[in-house]
Amino acid sequence: MNQVLLIFLPVLFALFVPLLYKTFSRIHTGWFVLLVPLTLAIYYARFIPNITEGPYTSTFYWVKSLDLSVTSYLDGLSLLFSLLITIIGSLVVLYSIFYLDRKKEQLHNFYFYLLMFMTAMLGVVQSDHLISLYLFWELTSISSFLLIGYWYNRDRSRFGALKSMMITVFGGLMMLGGFLLLAQAGGSYSIRELIANGSVIADSPYFIWMIVLILLGAFTKSAQFPFYIWLPDAMEAPTPVSAYLHSATMVKAGIYLVARLTPLFAVSEYWIWLVVLSGLITLFWGSFFAVKQTDLKGILAFSTVSQLGMIMAMLGAAGIAFHVESPQKTIFAFAAYAAIFHLVNHATFKGSLFMVAGIVDHETGTRDIRKLGGLMSLMPISFTIAAIGSLAMAGLPPFNGFLSKELFLTSMLSLKEFSLFNFSTWGPILPWVAFVASIFTFVYCLYFLYYTFMGKGNTSKLPKKPHEAPIGMLISPIILASLVVAIFFIPNVIGKYFIKPAVLAMQPQLYETIDDIPIHVQAWHGWTTELQMTIGIVVIGFLLFITLKKWQPIYRFVSEKWSLNGLYNRLMRFADVDSQKLSNLYMTGSMRHYLMYMFAFMVVAVISTLFMSNGFNYSTANTAEVGIFEIATLIVMIIGTLTVLIARTRLTAIIALGAVGYSVALFFIIFNAPDLALTQLVIETVSVALFLLAFYHLPKMSRHEERMPFKINNFLIALGVGVMVTLVALSAQSQKLLPSISQYYKDTVYTKAGGGNIVNVILVDYRGFDTLFEITVLAIAGMAILGMIKLRRPKKEKKTHETK
Amino acid sequence: MKLNNVILKTTTQVVFFMIFLFSIHIFFAGHFSPGGGFVGGLLTASALVLLLLTYDLKTVQQLLPINYTTMTAIGLLLSLGTAATSAFLGDAFFKHYFDHFTLPLFGDTELHTAMLFDLGVYLVVVGVTMIIIQSIGGDE
């Protein structure tokens, strides 16, 4: 219960944020908010020493009858993510206190959204129940939308917020579909139980669908190719948001999901191929296009995309461990470790880089890399942090990125040794892709560092006079940067307490305890292929960087129109403008057209149903003799009906309609229905009189005395309706399955109801309820006519009103 | 030019009562022979329409100062009330009661609560028909 409650702590605290903002307007609201992630971080840190002793669960039943619960499930993986969320969250809040101005910004909004996001994210990583996982998942989308659009009076912010919302919610809904299929196949909503039930699920015919749908959710959230396009536009958010959501936490929700479901889905080759391929493509694509960017945060966004792809590729490789003999001894076991390790490293260095980008923006007034340069001497501390961050990202010693990059190359190299699923055919290409992507990673890291801080930039032209940031703003990036260095020197401590428990949670089938995981990371691991590759990366990357000015123009060949953004924009325009054109095609506003659609649809639906279900039947078994009276009346009726259709004047049509009505009354007499005949006669008279009244008051200006024009469409539809009704009536008449209930009425009309006229007794006694409401209908019609006529604004009054 | 239509007026004075009485007859006869509240109401209304045709709207309103809206409302209430009475007496909604009584002048007569319901129908039909015709006819 405690655990579940703590997930909701941030959002509960958020309720007080506006109050604190208003009451203590002299203190920056962030100081109060800072308490929340700090408390949580301390709480979760208490689990670290004994997380391997088993998962800590606690359940809050939400809708028990539907088996809906919020279950907090803390194992190594969730704990690692929870700590990332709370620790980076604390640092980001601390940073934002100095980044956002107390007087100029609407802080209560900002912190409200941020705390909402924190709850959502903790919920995502701790949920064991699929539906509550989805719930928190969408809450991250919504709070991210709100945070990106924080400066809502800027066009770009709103555009970016909408774009990220569209893409992530699309993925989220796909994922929900996958979850529902999964829960259906596994018979449970609990991820633990589903994993235990894995073999049953793998036999499900919808297994592929589950994989595709759930991966769509994970890929859209984690900005994988081709869904990464929302991330660069999300850079319009305040920098603390970018640092928190779009580098360290939210974009890793997809990574978390893939890692969490690996024990379930890694038995499938589709899962492995999809994850590996999308990861590698994203890795290459992101690193290649990062060099094109001119906005500091744009570079970081593309680099985040690329690094997420790298983690994803490793997770895919980790799935292979389920398919090989004695996996503990093979190198595939590295992949899971490498993925988690790099995830932690990425959170540290990318967080610090974003914060530096924010500092540069804050102190110089621009993020455009073409205007910046030469800030090294003016902002030495920021430069140091940026250097540590970028070199770690590039994968150089003595920073943590070096270690995880080596592990990454190890796992990619191992792919070609795997024989199943065609990996032996295509596998050898994969390390080369990783190699090329790493070269570009190296290039953009230098690009970011060099053009911001070094070179001979003209600092006097900047919008603000640059100077070092206040110390408060520097605390968080300094902490992160020192972590970057520290992890390099103590990788195995981190590995023991954080990474190995997470690996254990990810590959529970392979290991009993964390001591079984045979990985010992060290900076010097011998003269291996990985090290040679790293040297190659550094050398080629350096050469490419020096010649950057010469080859950078190739990016101009990539037209914006054919990019994925262009595709997205066209899709949006299609959904907006073109779909409106489409609906204008048929929503013409003409009543005649709508009637045509309805009748045509009815004809097609009824007739096709009739024949497809073999419902048509015709027999004369139950029919009565046709007498001379019937034929005569029928002829009168047909003549009357035809006259209505071809009449030249409306008066003729009205009279002919009256004739039809009276012949219907005659029919009632012939068929022994005196009550109906009486009513029909009187009603027909009244309605003909009303028709005449309406006819008399037709406006004189456009009164045409001409017959109805012949239209082939109308004719065909009318014919169709006639045929339809005839067919249905014939079939209904020809196959009566049950005897009529009328015998009961005949038997009891006098004994039980005390009457002799069955029709009237049915109307007022057996089924008086209908009559009650029919007279109500009549009364409503009368009142409506009265209202329409009496409650009109007189014309004279209207005119005087208008002249006023 | 307004014609003094003596023949029409004289005939109407006689025929009106004939139609009215016939409609009352049809109404009461409804339970055992063709007729009932609906047709009875329509026929009463047509008798009134005949009056309207012969004399003008104001004269008829002076002659028969009936508020047809109220009449409709009373009719609806009567029908609903009849239907609901049984519910208050502990029976199902819409249960009718009847029995035979020996009345002076009529002899053995069946009295039936369905007749009250039908009276409601009758009042509504007369009221609504007259509302429609009067409001359309009275429109300038």
**Closest residue by Cα to residue A479 from A7, A49, A41:** A41
Which residues of chain B have a CB within 8 Å of the CB of A759? 34, 36
Model pLDDT, residue A91: 92
Model pLDDT, residue A130: 92
Distance of alpha carbon A54 from alpha carbon A674, whole angstroms: 86
What domain range is A630 assigned to?
591-738
**Closest residue by Cα to residue A688 from A730, A653, A725:** A653
Task: Tell if the CB–CB gap between A757 and B39 is shorter than 8 Å.
Answer: no
Chain B nearest C-alpha distance from A590 (Å): 29
Whether chain B has a CB inside 8 Å of the CB on A761: the answer is: yes
% chain A with pLDDT above 70: 92
Nearest to A779 among B26, B34, B124 (CB): B124
Chain B nearest C-alpha distance from A754 (Å): 7
Distance of alpha carbon A427 from alpha carbon A414, whole angstroms: 9
Residues A129, A180 contacting (CB under 8 angstroms): no
Which residues of chain B have a CB within 8 Å of the CB of A785? 131-132, 135-136
Whether a cis peptide bond, with omega within 30° of 0, leads into A226 is yes
Which residues of chain A have a CB within 8 Å of the CB of B127? 779, 782
Model pLDDT, residue B36: 87
Domain count, chain B: 1
Residue A732 belongs to a domain with what CATH number?
1.20.120
Residues A624 and A696 in one domain: yes
Task: Tell if the CB–CB gap between A772 and B118 is shorter than 8 Å.
Answer: no
Whether chain A has a CB inside 8 Å of the CB on B113: the answer is: no
**pLDDT surpassing 60 at residue A758:** yes
| A interface test, pick of B19, B23, B38, B80 with most A CB neighbours within 10 Å | B38
Which residues of chain B have a CB within 8 Å of the CB of A786? 69, 131, 135
Model pLDDT, residue A511: 75
End-to-end Cα separation, chain B, in angstroms? 20
Whether chain A has a CB inside 8 Å of the CB on B42: the answer is: yes
For chain B, the helix, strand and coil percentages under 3-state DSSP, each to the nearest 5: 65, 10, 25
Nearest to B94 among A769, A778, A790 (CB): A769
Sign of CA dihedral A664, A666, A669, A671: negative
Is residue B49 a part of any domain in this protein?
yes
Residue A299 phi, psi dihedral angles, 5° rounding: -60, -45
In chain B, how long is the greatest CA-to-CA distance?
65
Residues A417 and A549 in one domain: yes
Q: What is the pLDDT of residues B26-71, one digit of tens each?
A: 998 888 888 888 999 999 998 988 888 888 888 888 888 889 999 9
Model pLDDT, residue A148: 92
Distance of alpha carbon B52 from alpha carbon B49, whole angstroms: 5
Is residue A555 a part of any domain in this protein?
yes
Size of interface A-B (CB pairs under 8 A): 119
CA angle A517, A441, A537 (to 5 degrees): 80
Say which DSSP state A223 is in. Answer: T
Mean pLDDT of A37-62: 86
What domain range is B84 assigned to?
6-137
Q: What is the pLDDT of residues A287-331, one digit of tens each?
A: 888 888 888 888 999 999 999 999 998 888 888 877 776 655 566
Nearest to A789 among B39, B127, B139 (CB): B139
Q: What is the pLDDT of residues A160-201, one digit of tens each?
A: 999 999 999 999 999 999 999 999 888 888 988 888 888 888
Partners of residue A71 on adjacent β-strands: A59
Helix (H, G, I), strand (E, B) or coil at A204: coil
Task: Tell if the CB–CB gap between B131 and A674 is shorter than 8 Å.
Answer: no
Residues A622 and A496 in one domain: no
**Closest residue by Cα to residue A95 from A359, A463, A375:** A359
Distance of alpha carbon A257 from alpha carbon A312, whole angstroms: 11
Is residue B1 a part of any domain in this protein?
no
Residues 6+ apart with CB under 8 A from A642: none
Residues A691 and A600 in one domain: yes
Calculate the dihedral angle through the C-alpha atoms of B23, B26, B27, B30, rounding to the nearest 10 degrees: -170
Task: Tell if the CB–CB gap between B42 and A782 is shorter than 8 Å.
Answer: no
Q: What is the pLDDT of residues A567-586, one digit of tens each?
A: 888 888 888 888 899 989 98
End-to-end Cα separation, chain A, in angstroms? 69
Residues 6+ apart with CB under 8 A from A756: A749, A750, B31, B32, B33
Which residues of chain B have a CB within 8 Å of the CB of A771? 79, 117, 121
Task: Tell if the CB–CB gap between A764 and B35 is shorter than 8 Å.
Answer: no
**pLDDT surpassing 80 at residue A275:** yes
Is residue B109 a part of any domain in this protein?
yes
Residues A392 and A522 in one domain: yes
Residues A643 and A729 in one domain: yes
Distance of alpha carbon A393 from alpha carbon A381, whole angstroms: 18
Is residue B76 a part of any domain in this protein?
yes
Which residues of chain A have a CB within 8 Å of the CB of B72? 779, 782-783
Task: Tell if the CB–CB gap between A757 and B120 is shorter than 8 Å.
Answer: no
Task: Tell if the CB–CB gap between B34 and A678 is shorter than 8 Å.
Answer: yes
Is residue B33 a part of any domain in this protein?
yes
Task: Tell if the CB–CB gap between B34 and A754 is shorter than 8 Å.
Answer: no
Which residues of chain B have a CB within 8 Å of the CB of A688? none
**Closest residue by Cα to residue A231 from A218, A245, A210:** A245
Residues A218, A254 contacting (CB under 8 angstroms): yes
Is residue B89 a part of any domain in this protein?
yes
Whether chain A has a CB inside 8 Å of the CB on B40: the answer is: no
Distance of alpha carbon A704 from alpha carbon A292, whole angstroms: 71
Q: What is the pLDDT of residues A673-711, one digit of tens each?
A: 888 998 899 889 888 887 887 777 776 666 566 667 788
| B interface test, pick of A762, A775, A777, A792 with most B CB neighbours within 10 Å | A775
- 3-state per-residue secondary structure call for A529-586: HHHHHHHHHHHHHHHHHHCHHHHHHHHHHCCCCCCHHHHHHHHHHHHHHHHHHHHHHH
- List the helix and strand counts (H, then E) for chain A: 37, 2
Closest chain A residue by Cα to residue B140: A789
Rg (CA), chain A: 38
| A interface test, pick of B22, B31, B69 with most A CB neighbours within 10 Å | B31
Task: Tell if the CB–CB gap between B131 and A783 is shorter than 8 Å.
Answer: yes
Interface of A with B in 650-679 (CB under 8 A): 674-675, 678-679
Is residue A164 a part of any domain in this protein?
no
Residues A465 and A492 in one domain: yes
Chain B nearest C-alpha distance from A793 (Å): 13
% chain B with pLDDT above 90: 34
Is residue A749 a part of any domain in this protein?
yes
Model pLDDT, residue A174: 94
Whether chain A has a CB inside 8 Å of the CB on B37: the answer is: yes
Q: What is the mean pLDDT of chain A?
A: 85
Mean pLDDT of A54-81: 87
**pLDDT surpassing 50 at residue A804:** no
Model pLDDT, residue A89: 92
Whether a cis peptide bond, with omega within 30° of 0, leads into A398 is yes
Q: What is the pLDDT of residues A369-378, one digit of tens each?
A: 888 877 888 8
Please tell me the pTM assigned to this model.
Answer: 0.80
Is residue A185 a part of any domain in this protein?
no
Chain A nearest C-alpha distance from B131 (Å): 6
Model pLDDT, residue A216: 92
Chain A nearest C-alpha distance from B10 (Å): 24
Distance of alpha carbon A492 from alpha carbon A744, whole angstroms: 90
% chain A with pLDDT above 90: 28
Helix axes A130-148, A155-186, angle to 10 degrees: 180
Whether chain A has a CB inside 8 Å of the CB on B128: the answer is: yes
Residues A728 and A770 in one domain: no
Q: What is the mean pLDDT of chain B?
A: 87
Kindly state the tokens that stand for B123. Answer: 């009042």
Nearest to A775 among B26, B42, B121 (CB): B121
Nearest to A756 among B31, B83, B131 (CB): B31
Residues A340 and A391 in one domain: yes
Residue A355 phi, psi dihedral angles, 5° rounding: -65, -35
Whether chain B has a CB inside 8 Å of the CB on A619: the answer is: no
Chain B nearest C-alpha distance from A755 (Å): 5
Q: Picking from A236-240, A543-547, B107-111, which range would have the lowest pLDDT averaged per residue? A: B107-111
CA angle A148, A153, A155 (to 5 degrees): 70
Residue A726 or B104, more confident:
A726
Whether chain B has a CB inside 8 Å of the CB on A687: the answer is: no
Residues A432 and A494 in one domain: yes
Kindly state the tokens that stand for A23. Answer: 């009451």
Q: Picking from A392-396, A538-542, A789-793, which range would have the lowest pLDDT averaged per residue? A: A789-793
Domain count, chain A: 3
Residues A682 and A751 in one domain: no
Which residues of chain A have a CB within 8 Å of the CB of B42? 679, 682-683, 686
Residues A733 and A762 in one domain: no
Kindly state the tokens that stand for B12. Answer: 């109407």
Q: Picking from A552-556, A688-692, A759-763, which range would have the lowest pLDDT averaged per residue? A: A552-556
Model pLDDT, residue A422: 65
**pLDDT surpassing 90 at residue A622:** no
Residues A32, A108 contacting (CB under 8 angstroms): no
Task: Mark which of A537, A572, A607 sits at the end of a domain.
Answer: A572
Distance of alpha carbon A434 from alpha carbon A417, whole angstroms: 16
Task: Tell if the CB–CB gap between B37 and A764 is shorter than 8 Å.
Answer: yes
Distance of alpha carbon B129 from alpha carbon B121, whole angstroms: 12
Whether chain A has a CB inside 8 Å of the CB on B44: the answer is: no
